[in-house]
Structure formats: structure tokens, C-alpha cells
Structure 1
Amino acid sequence: MELRHLRYFVAVAEELHFGRAAARSFVAQPTLSQQIKTFEGEVGARLFERSPRVSLTPVGAVLLPHARRVLDEAACAEAAVRAAAEGRAGALRVGYEAPIMRDGLAESIRAFRADVPDAGLHFWEAGSREQVEAVREGRADAGLVLLPVDERGVEVRAIAESPIFVVIPEGHRLAGRETVALAELSDEPQVAWARDPAPEVYDQYLRACGAAGFVPRVVQEVRHAESLLGLVAAGVGVGTMHAARVQPGYPGVAFARLVEPALTIRTGAVWRRGDGSPLLARFLDAVLRPAPPL
């Protein structure tokens, strides 16, 4: 049973006239008549009475609702395939680092959702290394990470670059400053970010401290901004923070931009190398700002 036979059958059943059904189907009337005869041979029953005028037989009447349903399902399937091929349907699993959503990505994602309302976006918060591993293993389609990351098996593009700030306890000798040189932290106890969520970022900071002539005196490691802010406010030490995490007015702390060198944190997107998903391509177009390949 072919879809074209069902389409011809429905056209004749609805028009009850072979000439009009042929015009509606964009075929010659003799061709349509022959196709209906072939179809009747396949199903093993007459579907139409031809005289004195065209009408459905009881068998044709039984077939008609089923034929319409099959054609509707076929049209839905065709539309779904077309939408998927154009990147307008499907689902994506996307990881993200919390501060990235403050880097303007929320607006980009909102625009993407408005442009592709039928697509599913499933977000999960995770460290950059965990996201890269998930993308590499096919457990996620993309990640929004802090750069640099391990690039084996993944494509990486930068999204934005933001300065790093020093978080200082209220009343500290460095409080009230607009900028602080990295070397001025050499003797300070530090509340540091744990290494494992973003090891390349952690190591980059250690190298910068080494270039400034010291090894940071880490007295506490944290995984969340609230922990760092609270411990600095309690006087445990100073800390450093991506600009997107800075909370002006947070009680007990002050913020100063880190300079000499002016360290920055880059955010970026990662996805599996060779992934040809049209929906992923549309998502990346939405979130990637103009930036050169890394």
C-alpha cells in the first residue's frame, strides 16, 4: 500500500468525481482511474461504485478514515523531519558554569528559545572539566565553560572575556582600593577555588602567581561563590573572583580589580568534534559572539 494510492483514494472519496479528483491531484484523469484500479487490486475489493455516479462502496467507507489518519501521520512525520533538518526541532543537553549566565548568555539563550520554540533545552550545572568529559563521551551536546579546557576530542570557541577581582575583608589594608597588583597578595592567606572543577583555570592562576614571584598561601578551598564571600567576610583570607560573580554591596567584603598583570577569565562553548546536528549549529550561532577560533 503506497501513500500515493491513499492520496488518490482520498481525493476521489472527497470529490466523488474522477475529473475533479484528477485536477486536485495534478494528474490526468485516465492516470488517476488506472491508479485507483491498481489500488483496488492490491486491497482485493472495489472501493468505488462508478455508475450512475461515483460513490464509496461499504469497503471504501471503512478505509476512508484510516487513509486520512495515515496521510495525516505521514504529513506530521515529514514536517518533523524537515524541522529537525533545519535545526528547528529536537533536544539539546547543555552544561554550564553558573557565572557564565551573567555574561550575557541568558539573553542569547532567551533569543534562541524564541527563535526555535519547539526545541528542547535541558541544562545542568557542572564544573568545566565535568562538562568537557560529558561532551566528549556523548552525555551532553554542548558545554558553557571557563577557559582554558582540555581540548581533546572537542571543539572550543571563546564567548567573552572578563576581568578578575580581588575579594578583600572589610577593614583590610587593601580595602577601599580600586585595583590591587597580584604581587601584593604574596603574603596574604587566600581562600581559593578548588582545582578539580576547572583545573586549567586553576593552574593558569598558579602560573601567574609564580611569574609574580610567589606561591599563593591557600588556607581554604571552596566550590561556590557564597562560600568564598562568606569566608572572606569572616577574615579567613582574601580571594579572587570572576567579574560575573562579583556582588557589590555584599556585607563584610570589598572588591578591587586585579592588575599587574590584569588577569582575566574567558568563557566559551565546547561541543563534540564532528557533531553535525543542525539544532546544535543553530544553538551555537546564538551563543557564540564574534571571536577567533582558539
Structure 2
Amino acid sequence: MLEKAALLAQVARCRVLDLVEDDAADLGAQHVRVALLVEDPLLLAVPDASPLAGRADIAPEDLAELPWIAVEGGSEAWRDDFVASCLAVGFRPDIRLEAPDPLAAVGLVASGLGMALVQRSMLPGRTAGVTTRPLPWLGQSVRLWAAWHRIDLRPVVTSFRETVLRAGADHGRPAGADPAGPGLP
């Protein structure tokens, strides 16, 4: 089991569900319910001046040897995971910069410093200096989950949970996702 300070550090990094699933923290996982709220697809963000900005279809080989901005993920192996996902579809990214979050990456892309994969919700409208392109062959997304204690009799918690789950359904929860949410294994 993790000590309290280590657990709080992981919570700050949004890794609480990972810890519960791995039994690293005893939070009563048998009493936790989870539901997928949104599966937010990753888009390729490129500077407007990039030759890729004018192309409707982009193949994996088009992305090789171009400057990349890697967006830090939630796990310690985020960079390795990013490179592995690129290799799996057929190219090796030339990572020139690392951004601590998607919005920082978008700013770096707008400055013409490279391209990045950013979830669609981070680019709600037209961002000056940035063009986005879908990469259907990539098949990656960022998932937003809700988690709650299975037995909670407080009406305000129930109301909040129902509101959040409805919002998830309205904003792209995958078809067939269980709004009540399964328990953790």
C-alpha cells in the first residue's frame, strides 16, 4: 500500500483509478462505480504554414521526420507510450519539444515549432495559427471518467452524479456505455 503522501501525489496526477485497480491504495474498490463520460479523439494540430495544413488526408509516413511536440501524459512512461503508439502505426516521431499539457502544446504549434496530438475538446473553435486534421487510422482518444462510491445516500451527490452522467451522454459517451457504470474489477 502507498503511504498517504505518495497517495496524495498520485491523486494530484489524476491517477487515483489506476491506483485502485492495481490495489496500490485501499479505497474500497468493491464499492466504487465508474462510468466513461467522454471519449475525446486526438487530432493532429499543425501550424497553418505547414504543408500538412492544406491536406485533407494524412498518412502515417507523412508524419515522419517532421518536428513533434509531445504532450505529457498521466503516467511516468508517457513519452515511451507516445513513441510506441506512433511506431505501431508506422512512423517514428522526431520529438523536438515537450509540453506539460495540451493547451501549452497548442501554443507551441501556433508558434510554428512543431505539430502535436491534441484532444478535440482542447480546440473548441478556430485557434489562430493552428490547423487540425483527423487521423482516423490512429484510433486514439483521451477518456474522461466519473467515479463514485456505490453507496452514497446524500441527495446532492446523487443529483451531481446524474447531472455529470447526462452531460457525458450529451457530449459523446460511446454508444452502449453503461451510465450507471460498472464496479472496478
TM-score class, shorter-chain normalisation, is 0.5 to 0.7
2:72 aligned residue: 194
CA contact (8 A) 1:156 1:270 kept: yes
* One of 153, 173, 177 as aligned partner of 1:291: 177
2:43 aligned residue: 165
1:231 aligned residue: 108
Verify: 1:221 aligned to 2:98, yes or no: yes
CA contact (8 A) 1:181 1:259 kept: no
Query: Aligned pairs, how many?
Result: 151
Aligned counterparts of 1:277 and 1:221: Cα–Cα separation in 2:
44
Aligned counterparts of 1:201 and 1:180: Cα–Cα separation in 2:
27
Shift of 1:169: 1.1
1:156 aligned residue: 34
Aligned counterparts of 2:84 and 2:151: Cα–Cα separation in 1:
34
More helix by share: 1
User: After the TM superposition, which residues 72-87 of structure 1 pair with which residues of structure 2 at under 5 Å, given as runs?
Assistant: none
One-letter code of the match for 2:14? Q
* One of 63, 72, 77 as aligned partner of 1:185: 63
The percent of aligned pairs where both chains have the same amino acid is: 25
RMSD of equivalent CA atoms: 3.2
Aligned counterparts of 2:68 and 2:19: Cα–Cα separation in 1:
26
TM-score, normalisation: structure 2: 0.64
Q: Deviations 1:65-107 (Å, cap 9, x if unpaired)?
A: xxxxxxxxxxxxxxxxxxxxxxxxxxxxxxxxxxxxxxxxxxx
TM-score, normalisation: structure 1: 0.43
Structure 2: 5+ residue stretches without partners: 1-9, 22-28, 170-175
Change (3 A) 1:162 1:151: same
Aligned counterparts of 1:151 and 1:132: Cα–Cα separation in 2:
9
Aligned counterparts of 1:180 and 1:128: Cα–Cα separation in 2:
37
CA contact (8 A) 1:189 1:237 kept: yes
Change (3 A) 1:151 1:242: farther
Verify: 1:131 aligned to 2:7, yes or no: no
Change (3 A) 1:158 1:183: farther
Structure 1: 5+ residue stretches without partners: 1-126, 137-148
Q: Deviations 1:137-184 (Å, cap 9, x if unpaired)?
A: xxxxxxxxxxxx555245431012232111111221211233433443
* SS of residue paired to 2:161: helix
CA contact (8 A) 1:129 1:199 kept: no
Aligned counterparts of 2:84 and 2:34: Cα–Cα separation in 1:
22
Change (3 A) 1:200 1:223: same
One-letter code of the match for 1:219? R
Change (3 A) 1:128 1:162: farther
Change (3 A) 1:200 1:164: farther
* One of 55, 75, 88 as aligned partner of 1:211: 88
CA contact (8 A) 1:183 1:213 kept: yes
Shift of 1:246: 1.1
- Rg (Cα) greater in structure: 1
One-letter code of the match for 2:152? G
2:122 aligned residue: 245
* SS of residue paired to 2:132: strand
Change (3 A) 1:131 1:261: closer
